[in-house]
Amino acid sequence: MKVQQKLLDLADVDAELLRIRHRRINLPEDKEIERLKKERQARKDDAVAAEIALDDLDRDIKRLEREVDQVRQREQRDNALMQSGSVAAKQLSELQHELGTLGRRRSLLEDELLDIMEQREAAEENYKHAGARLSHAEEELDAAGSKRGDATADLDVAEKRCDTDREKLAQLFPEELLSLYENERRSHSVGAGRLQGSRCGACRIELDRGELERIKATPPERVVQCPECGAILVRAGR
């Protein structure tokens, strides 16, 4: 019964299909994509934080510029008043005093403004750098995505080839034998194995002498199953 030998080809195809399925759910590219997604999120958070820092400094700069401007206007007004000659001596000394205070205040504000502008330069560098790192992370993620696509396409091709082989092979078997095979495959993942010496090729368990005698005594055209795993045991030449 050479048809039983063909069961081994079918079992090979099914084993290959299992390997393909296993590879598909354990793609290293998927792990890489997961890692890169986290990386991209971290870079995005950095970029957002850098942008917020920059915006805060811009707001501080605007506020300080406004304050400096107000002090300057006040100084101009006081100066104009002093030069108008229309103020009394007491008010004149008050104005002089105020101008002194305003000058010191403006100088402090201008120092602070310079300091913040320097901070802004550093923050802008930081912002640009964070943006570049985010772009890089996005590029890496894109590349990993296409690599995954390639890997999946390869598996699709292999799976399709197996499916075709399987359909062709399945036509060779009597219905009863095929359904026995399918049942065993469904319940134990392997439907048929070669009897190698005293060992079942499906579960690798060694059969005892009694079982071997029983199998030996079974006519070749009859189907025998492994007493351990249920797989159809294909005997040499059958």
Contact residues for Zn ion, defined by CB under 5 A: 200, 202-203, 226, 228-229, 231
Taking the C-alpha atoms of residue 192 and residue 202, their distance in angstroms, rounded to an integer, is 6
Q: Which is nearer to Zn ion, 36 or 233 (CB)?
A: 233
**Cβ at position 30, least distance to Zn ion in Å:** 34
Q: Which is nearer to Zn ion, 134 or 233 (CB)?
A: 233
**Cβ at position 11, least distance to Zn ion in Å:** 12
Taking the C-alpha atoms of residue 98 and residue 100, their distance in angstroms, rounded to an integer, is 5
**Residue 47, Cβ density class (10 Å: 0-12 exposed, 13-18 middle, ≥19 buried):** buried
Q: Which is nearer to Zn ion, 177 or 201 (CB)?
A: 201
**Cβ at position 233, least distance to Zn ion in Å:** 7
Which residue, chain included where needed, has tokens 């985010």? 134
Q: What single string gives the DSSP state of each residue in 46-112?
A: HHHHHHHHHHHHHHHHHHHHHHHHHHHHHHHHHHHHHHHT-S-HHHHHHHHHHHHHHHHHHHHHHHH
**Cβ at position 230, least distance to Zn ion in Å:** 7
Q: Which is nearer to Zn ion, 12 or 110 (CB)?
A: 12
Token pair for 49? 């934080």
